[in-house]
Structure 1
Amino acid sequence: MTASPEIGNPRTATPDLLRSVFRQHAAGVAVITAAGERPAGFTATSLNSVAADPPLISFGVGTSSSSWPVIARTEHIGVHILGEHQRDLAATFARSGADRFGPSTEWRSGPEGVPLLDGVLAWLVCRVVARVPAGDHRIMIAQAITGDPVGGGRPLVYHQGGFTALRD
């Protein structure tokens, strides 16, 4: 058996510890959108493929976020996989109080009235099938009903508290 690197000093689990640990975990960046009285959306790094048959995805959303009231009631959501060229778009949808669907965001109404962002690597429109309570968040489970892997290119990644690109 080979020696492993030192583990260090364990700390009691807290919100700060969890954030610190997950800063070490690189995650793809997506924007989730929904139609409401006004369109809503937010940047998500918690997007996961859950099942292929039926095609299910999941993501987390904070119940204190400005998007939650729309997400809590909507039947359909849009999922957008961002490319490395979309750091500004990711930052806009991550920033509290930002005009996310303002003049700097190119989008259109898609299937089921879901706001679809232009220029993304891929998108899905999904039907929400469950909202699972998880602390101060809800885990959303949704079934893909349509989509398109429209764009080529490299994905945007979230790591160490910032948006970055993959390196060769």
Structure 2
Amino acid sequence: MTASPGLGTPATAAPGLLRSVFRQHAAGVAVITASGPGPVGFTATSLNSVAAEPPLISFGVGTSSSSWPVLAEAQHVGVHILGEGQQELAATFARSGADRFGPSTDWCRGPEGVPLLGGVVAWLVCRVAARIPAGDHRIVIAEVVAGDPSEGGRPLVYHQGRFTALRD
């Protein structure tokens, strides 16, 4: 098989190739939270709507993530859709070793004891239905049990390795 005209030379499949290609894919930004001995959370760009009936979502989480031990046991998770002005919140939850639930983070306990972040575009509380091994990650499938879309606003987007806003 030869490359099509106008296309570069195909690269061999590797983690670097996947990262390079997905830098071209704009994704919405969410923060996933759960409660264990203390609250945990991480920034995710892998959030997906899976089904309307029953209402299911999915996201990926690395098994080396500091949040994974709690997520591996959690019965419920919080899903927060971030708005365009929440780059710092996204960065806090993406940064290893950050005090994610410190004084600068507006949060409270919500339904099922899940940590809920304030000021987000929308949030859901979901019951974990499955954790599926996928390489060095787990795909978590969860059923929506509560939520609030009322904050509204424009979403935060991740593209080309940085958080950004949609352009008009």
TM-score interval for Structure 1 and Structure 2 normalised by the shorter chain: over 0.9
Q: Secondary structure at the match of 1:73?
A: coil
Structure 2: give runs of 5+ residues left out of the alignment.
none
Q: TM-score, normalised by structure 2?
A: 0.97
Counterpart in the other structure of 1:17: 17
Structure 2 residue identity aligned to 1:10: P
Indicate whether 1:129 and 2:129 are aligned: yes
Q: Alpha carbon RMSD of aligned pairs, Å?
A: 0.9
Aligned to 1:32: 32
Measured in 2, the distance between the counterparts of 1:141 and 1:103 equals: 31
Gaps spanning 5+ residues in structure 1: where? none
Runs of 4+ in 1 over 2 A off after TM superposition: none
Give the aligned residue type for 2:76: H
Return the offset for 1:7.
1.4
Q: Deviations over 1:142-164 (max 9, x none)?
A: 00000010212100000000000
Q: How does 1:42-121 map to 2 (within 5 A)?
A: 42-121=42-121
Give CA deviations for 1:30-75 in whole Å, capped at 9, x if unaligned: 0000011010000000000000000000000000000000000000
Letter in 1 for 2:75: E
Distance in 2 (CA, whole Å) between partners of 1:50 and 1:41 is 21
* Worse-superposed segment, 146-155 or 120-129: 146-155
1:131 partner SS = strand
Q: Secondary structure at 1:84's aligned position in 2?
A: coil
The offset of 1:13, in angstroms, is 0.5
| 1:5 to partner: Cα distance | 6.8
- Residue type of the alignment partner of 2:130: A
Identity of aligned residues (%): 79
- Distance in 2 (CA, whole Å) between partners of 1:152 and 1:21 is 30
Cα distance in 1 for partners of 2:35, 2:137 equals 20
